Structure 1
């Protein structure tokens, strides 16, 4: 996949195998997983499998999560992006475009998530011509819920997943 997006401070590009070490640093941090499924990665081979899975999504669906880097230093700060969800049901939905992100803890609170989110929204509606973009966040994750609201997503409802965890369901429609 050749797609690459830029913001004033960020470069968003497809996952590459060379990203594995930095993605491993991200995903082994228990604080990063606090509002996820609380299952930090313990073996870098898990990351290689994730990279391969996402690269397969690029080929099959034309989109997926992207490595997100600081333009100034080239440092990978996490991932952001859109994926087409058709492999499971989330809040009664399947076959939908989902926006998500995960940043390394040392990059929290610097506006990077909002900056990337705005770029992805613009790409989704202007280039991909998606009509509706969804997102879901842990109901207690105030930072992520704030970012989605700030960037234009509308809170639709709170729901409980099959594992008993409560999530917020967000939606943004093309204007």
Structure 2
């Protein structure tokens, strides 16, 4: 899989082991994990194992999370992308396409998540012919919820996880993406 997606400011490419240091910097920050089960990474080996898992997803599912690079500086700002969820049940669902992103805190509030999201949705619906894309966010994560709403996802419902934490389930259908594009 040699997929590379470019946006005006970003380069989206497969994760590589050389990305471990930058991804570890992001994932050891408790603020980044505030709405992600509050378990920041404590050892770089955790990131290396994550990169290996994502690379296996590329092989198995032909898609996965991608390193997201700021073209101007070549800085890795986090990851974005489509994942095929078949390894767990989320809100009663499995075997579905999930859109997600995680950015290093120093790159928040600059429009990068929105820019990457639009590119990934276009790729997922136009190139992969996905019929339905899902996403889920912590109910209190206002910034992530706004990004999903901004790029055209529809809020479906709140649901509790196994610990009683409330999450939001989002969805976009392929035809909804075209309607969104025509409005933008």
* In the alignment, structure 1 residue 102 sits paired with structure 2 residue 99: no
What SS does the aligned partner of 1:36 have?
coil
After superposition, residues 2-81 of structure 1 pair within 5 angstroms as 2-81=2-81
Residue matched to 2:119: 119
Distance 2:30 2:130 in 1: 34
Which runs of no fewer than 5 residues in structure 1 stay unpaired? Answer: none
Runs of 4+ in 1 over 3 A off after TM superposition: none
After superposition, residues 79-90 of structure 1 pair within 5 angstroms as 79-90=79-90
Which runs of no fewer than 5 residues in structure 2 stay unpaired? Answer: 176-184
What SS does the aligned partner of 2:148 have?
helix
Normalising by structure 1, we get a TM-score of 0.99
Normalising by structure 2, we get a TM-score of 0.95
What SS does the aligned partner of 1:101 have?
strand
User: How many residues align structurally?
Assistant: 175
After superposition, residues 126-165 of structure 1 pair within 5 angstroms as 126-165=126-165
Offset of residue 164 of structure 1:
1.4
Distance 1:47 1:67 in 2: 13
RMSD value, Cα: 0.4
